[in-house]
Amino acid sequence: MKAVAFTGLPGAGKTEAVKVAHEQGIKVISMGDEVREEVKKRGMEINDENLGKVAEEMRRKHGMDIWAKKCLKKIREKCSDEEVVVIDGIRNIEEVETFKKYIKNFILVAIHASPHIRYRRLMERGREDDSIKMDDLKRRERREMSWGIGNVIAMADIIITNEGSMESFRKKVKKILS
């Protein structure tokens, strides 16, 4: 089996990369879906606060790589040995190590754009007051960094830059997936 995991800070282009995978008929295993399932199972409402709380609690109880382990279980159930699988939502280095241990052909791909470009993109997406939005962006970024996403990016096997056209970025993603 070959697995490609995408990582990157908000606004770098992870969502678009996953969209390309979907279009190519590649199965996408989302780490966030695992957290959502757990929240639902507990009868809690699906919102940012509950998702964060459950994700953290499970990490404390069962180890930093608990969500990677749950994803591995799903990959084994859903995917054949010959398939290419995309993993979405890696957040810390322990998850990377667990995937590397159990998937022989595991490629970690970081998507990068300068802060300047990422902020502009994220601002263009929203319609709220700019100054509030900028604070929210930076808060979200700091939260992801506190979880260790920076180290995941630093340890990537491949870094692709997403600062030009959407088309050139999609081409780079397709090349990696093929």
Nearer to a copy of itself, 86 or 109 (CB): 109
Closer Cβ to a copy of itself, 46 or 158, answer by number: 158
Q: How many CB atoms lie within 10 A of CB 121?
A: 15
Residue 24 or 164: the one with the smaller Cβ distance to a copy of itself is 164
| Segment interacting with a copy of itself, rule: CB under 8 A, options 33-41, 66-74, 82-90, 157-165 | 157-165
Q: Report the site for a copy of itself in 82-141 (rule: CB under 8 A).
A: 93, 112, 114-116
Which range of residues in 23-31, 34-42, 51-59, 156-164 is near a copy of itself by CB under 8 A? 156-164
**Could you say which of 132, 134, 154, 166 contacts a copy of itself (CB under 8 A)?**
154
Tell whether residue 3 is a contact of a copy of itself (CB under 8 A).
Answer: no
63's torsion region: left (phi>0), alpha (psi -120 to 50) or beta? left
Please identify, using beta-carbon distances, which residue of 158 and 166 lies nearer to a copy of itself. Answer: 158
Q: Report if residue 153 touches a copy of itself, rule: CB under 8 A.
A: yes
The Cα–Cα gap between 44 and 47 comes to 9
Q: Is 144 left (phi over 0), alpha (psi -120 to 50) or beta?
A: alpha
Taken in order 36, 39, 43, 48, is the CA torsion positive or negative? negative
Which token pair is 131? 């100054």
Q: Which positions from 7 through 26 interact with a copy of itself, judged by CB under 8 A? A: 9
**Angstrom distance (rounded) from CA 13 to CA 6:** 9
Length of the chain: 178
Q: Which residues contact 57 (CB under 8 A, 6 or more apart)?
A: none
Binding residues for a copy of itself (CB under 8 A): 9, 93, 112, 114-116, 145, 148-159, 161
